[in-house]
Amino acid sequence: MFLLTLNRKVLIGGVLGLTMLMAAVPASARGHGDAAHNALGPQASLSAQASSVVAQDTVQITLTSELNADSQLGAAQALNQVLDAVMKQAKGHQGIEVRSGAYRVWPTSQPDSKVIEWWAHGEIILTSMDLDAVAQLASDLGDRMPIGGMSFSVSPQRRATEEQALLEQAVQAFKARAQALTQALGFDSYHYRNIELGGEGAQYQPMPRMMSAMASDKVGAPVEAGTETITVTVHGTIALQPTSK
């Protein structure tokens, strides 16, 4: 395990594996292709990664409504009225995306299978990078559709920018590792055989705070974005070239 530290306090790490490709075949049985391959020396598999902790800048709030009626039609109509009214009020707010979520109507019955009543469940999902604005909107709509769920993420634009910077750092770390290995083993240079890219994210839970700008008669929910670790990994194989004589 090698650990390097970049000027952006980004951790570079990886696993180094070396495979010596020595064919256990008599020299007389080797063709011209084997001779050309052995002239490059052994191959080495390397891995390097760059990571950074990024603040989550997007929140998704799920508003829910669940009600019952004597008939399937009655439950569906009552739910539709709530969804339509809330959707109309939610739309038109700058910077807030509004869309429909889950929708379900189902019966409840007695042991003899006789239907007692019908239930309906519907959702409206609010997504925004303006946490205060979407929190206020969710609070305004809460008397008809309370908050049923909330999640945070890094926006695609910010993730793409961060991954681009991390990619450059991971590549530089991979090149430095390859050069160091080449010199340590006494070879003159190396050639890239293949390169693969990978990435992953890990989320951390923050300490919540109450929604800001809430009216005194509204019940606020904790809204506080956390952080996410974005990682870019470079895997590859190099062919070591013997020192020229």
Q: Does one domain contain both 126 and 165? A: no
Same domain, 117 and 170: no
The reported pLDDT for the residue numbered 40 is 58
What pLDDT score was predicted for residue 196? 93
Q: Could you tell me if 82 and 145 lie in one domain? A: yes
Q: How far is Cα 151 from Cα 61, in angstroms, rounded to an integer?
A: 7
Neighbouring C-beta atoms of residue 34, cutoff 10 Å: 13
User: 189 and 115 share a domain?
Assistant: no
Same domain membership, residue 197 and residue 145 = no
- Per-residue model confidence as pLDDT tens digits over 41-61: 799 999 999 999 999 999 999
**Nearest partner of 122 among 169, 74, 170, 81, judged by Cα:** 81
Q: Do 235 and 125 reside in the same domain of the chain?
A: no
**Do residues 165 and 236 share a domain?**
yes
End residue of a domain, out of 113, 131, 153:
153
- Which domain does 77 fall in, by range? 58-153
Whether 164 contacts 157, CB under 8 Å: no
Same domain, 82 and 197: no
Q: Do 149 and 74 share a structural domain?
A: yes
Per the CB < 8 A criterion, the answer to whether 165 and 54 are in contact is no
* Alpha-carbon gap, residue 33 to 39, rounded angstroms: 10
Residues in the chain where the model's pLDDT stays below 50: 1-37, 202-217
Contact (CB, 8 A) for 23 and 139:
no
Task: Give the pLDDT of residue 225.
Answer: 85
34 and 93 fall within a common domain: no
Same domain, yes or no: 23 and 109: no
Q: CA dihedral defined by 228, 15, 180, 22, rounded to 10 degrees? A: -150
Q: E strands, the chain, where?
A: 2-5, 11-14, 17-19, 43-55, 58-69, 96-109, 115-128, 147-153, 189-204, 227-241
Domains held by the chain: number: 2
Q: Answer yes or no: do 147 and 161 share one domain.
A: no
* pLDDT mean across residues, the chain: 80
| Alpha-carbon distance values, 79 to 86, 89, 122, 124, 144 (Å) | 11, 16, 7, 12, 11
